[in-house]
Amino acid sequence: MFLWLVITFGIPILLLFLLRPGALHPPSVWTIQGDLSSKSVAAFCVLLATWLVARLQKRSMADYGIPLRKALGGRFWEGALWGFAMLSALLLLLHAFGQFQINSVALTGSAFFKYALGWALAFYCVGISEEFAFRGYLFFIAARRIRFWRAAVALSIGFAVAHLPNPGETLLGILQVLAVGLLFCLTIRRTGNLWFAVGFHASWDWAQTFFYGTPDSGLLGEGHFLNSSVQGPNWVTGGSAGPEGSIFALLILSFSALLIHWRFPKPVYPDRPA
C-alpha cells in the first residue's frame, strides 16, 4: 500500500511543486489548461500505481473495479447521462422555486466545441483521478478489512475532507461531496466497477462548469456555454459552492440513489473482496 500511496499522492504533488508551484494553491477560477495539466498527471499516477500493485499482487485491474477494456464502454456513457440529467434536474428544481435562471448564451460556433471538448477531457481526468484514488485500490483494501459499507463511509469522509481547501466551498457543499461519494460507492456495489461513477462524476462537473456556467465546488470555470444566475439564500441556491451546495442537491442525490437501486437491484461488488 505504501508504494501505491507514494505514486498516487506523493509524485503528483512533487511534480506540480517542481513544474508549476502555483498549482498547489487552489485557484479562484478554473481553466482548461490548469485543470487538465494537474488532473491528467494525477490520473496517470493513480493508474500507474494501481497497475503496479496489481502486477505485484498478481491481480487483474478488474479486481479493483477498474476493467480497462470498459473505459469508454456502456456503463461509462450511462453514468455520463445520469450525471448530466441529475444536475439538470437540480437546476430545474431551483428554477421552479425562482432561484435559478439562464440569462444568455456565452459561446457559439467553434468556441463552443473548443471549450466543450476541452472541459470534457479535463473532467474525464478528474473522474479518473478522484474515483480511482478514493474508490479503486484503496477502497478494495479497506473493504477487505472492514467490509464494503464501512469502507464506503470512511473513504467518502476522506473524499469530502479533500475538498475542504477549495475556495468558496460551504458546509452544505462538503456534505454534498460526502453524499455523492456514498452514491458512487452504491454504483460500484451494484455495477461491479467504477466506470458508471467516473461517467457520472465527469458529466456532473461538466454540466456545472461548462454547460450551465455555475460554480463547481466553489470554483468558476473559464469558458462556459450559458450565462446563468441565482438569487435567494445560499442554503437554497448553493451560494459560492454552486448548485451542488444547495439543500436540494441532497434531495436529488437521494432520488438518484433510489433510481440506481431500481436500475441495478442486485449487488455485484463483494461485501468483503477475497
Cα–Cα distance list, 115 to 3, 33, 49, 107, 111 (Å) = 36, 11, 30, 9, 6
In a domain, 102, yes or no: yes
Note the pLDDT of residue 104. 96
- Residue 3, classified by CB atoms within 10 Å of its CB into exposed (0-12), middle (13-18) or buried (19+), is exposed
Note the pLDDT of residue 12. 86
Mean pLDDT of the chain: 93
Note the pLDDT of residue 21. 56
As a whole number of angstroms, the distance between CA 165 and CA 167 comes to 6
Express each pLDDT in 27-66 by its tens digit: 667 789 888 888 999 999 999 999 999 999 999 999 999 9
**Listed range (25-29, 218-222, 233-237, 251-255) with the worst mean pLDDT:** 25-29
In a domain, 271, yes or no: no
In a domain, 270, yes or no: no
Total number of residues shown for the chain: 274
As a whole number of angstroms, the distance between CA 156 and CA 124 comes to 20
Q: How many degrees, rounded to 5, is the angle at CA 242 between CA 237 and CA 248?
A: 45
In a domain, 67, yes or no: yes
In a domain, 269, yes or no: no
The residue written with cell numbers 460507492 in the block is 185
As a whole number of angstroms, the distance between CA 103 and CA 9 comes to 40
Note the pLDDT of residue 51. 97
Express each pLDDT in 108-160 by its tens digit: 999 999 999 999 999 999 999 999 999 999 999 999 999 999 999 999 999 99
Total domain count, the chain? 1
Express each pLDDT in 74-108 by its tens digit: 999 999 999 999 999 999 999 999 999 999 999 99
Q: Report the percentage of the chain scoring pLDDT > 90.
A: 81
Cell, residue 180:
455523492
In a domain, 40, yes or no: yes
Range(s) of the domain holding residue 158: 2-263
pTM of the model: 0.94
Residue pair 172/50 in contact by the 8 Å Cβ criterion: no
What is the dihedral angle through the alpha carbons of 200, 126, 95, 81, rounded to the nearest 10 degrees? -20
Residue pair 272/147 in contact by the 8 Å Cβ criterion: yes
As a whole number of angstroms, the distance between CA 131 and CA 10 comes to 17
Residue pair 142/261 in contact by the 8 Å Cβ criterion: no
As a whole number of angstroms, the distance between CA 259 and CA 267 comes to 14
In a domain, 272, yes or no: no
Cα–Cα distance list, 67 to 29, 114, 161, 243 (Å) = 34, 30, 28, 32
What is the dihedral angle through the alpha carbons of 232, 236, 237, 241, rounded to the nearest 10 degrees? 130
In a domain, 113, yes or no: yes
